[in-house]
Structure 1
Amino acid sequence: MTDRYQVFHLTGQLDAFSEPVFRKVIGKFVDEGPHHVILDLSAIDFLDSSGLGALVQLAKKCQGYSGTFQVISNARVTQTVKLVRLESFLNLRSSLAEAVEHIPVA
């Protein structure tokens, strides 16, 4: 975490079993700020509809704080997100460097 943004690196699965804890923990950090969030899902093996719902809720929470929400993706996550046409809303990125470039300076 820096004073401008937070980065979270996740591994494993983001599904109905892990989603409640994920949403609670990450949501608390979003509430505390900074409100520009980069979520690294490049090591996620599986993402289901519950995980997608949690991502959408977190993106909306960041927007509510005038922050940004970006997802570093892998092929599997990208495919799942594109199926529901959320790739633009979730701001899919290919690397941390690319995501950091999109964090507002001021």
Structure 2
Amino acid sequence: MTIQDYDNYMLVRYEDSRFDSRTAPVFRKTMNARIGKKIAPPKAVILDLHGVNFIDLSGLGAILSVMQPVQKKTKLLLCGAEENVRNIFSVTHLDSIFKMYQNAEEAAKAVPMTVN
């Protein structure tokens, strides 16, 4: 997993083909540490799932648990998900909570700009 910070969002590239009970704890720990270090959470977290071909309830739970503490200030945008992963979000109705984009560039355009 690689994480890049931008002015108003954080881009997280998930680099494993599976998001499951084996990989979810690492995601949760890394993200909680990273978001917890910030004085102010980013306006958005873009989670790039390109290359993930399997996600289970552990993966979904990790995403929800990371975003729950910052949900009022930070929007989660998903991108790059393959059809079978998008179907899991659809079946669980999480697609009504998290907006999906084709790629990170498209998701970044949807992030609200910071007003100074």
Pick from 78, 85, 89 the counterpart of residue 81 of structure 1.
89
Structure 1 residues 61 and 91: CA distance shift in structure 2, 3 A: farther
Do structure 1's residue 25 and structure 2's residue 30 form an aligned pair? yes
Structure 1 residues 91 and 84: CA distance shift in structure 2, 3 A: same
Shift of 1:31: 2.1
* Structure 2 residues without counterparts, runs of 5 or longer: none
TM-score by length of 2: 0.81
Shift of 1:101: 1.4
* Structure 1 residues without counterparts, runs of 5 or longer: none
- Cα RMSD between the aligned structures? 1.5
Q: How many residues align?
A: 105
Report what 1:37 is aligned to: 45
Shift of 1:60: 2.0
Residue type at the aligned position of 2:33? K
Do structure 1's residue 67 and structure 2's residue 71 form an aligned pair? no
C-alpha distance in structure 1 between counterparts of 2:70 and 2:76, whole Å: 6
Residue type at the aligned position of 2:113? V
Report what 2:57 is aligned to: 49
Rg comparison, structure with higher value:
2
C-alpha distance in structure 1 between counterparts of 2:53 and 2:70, whole Å: 25
C-alpha distance in structure 1 between counterparts of 2:70 and 2:31, whole Å: 11
C-alpha distance in structure 2 between counterparts of 1:41 and 1:7, whole Å: 11
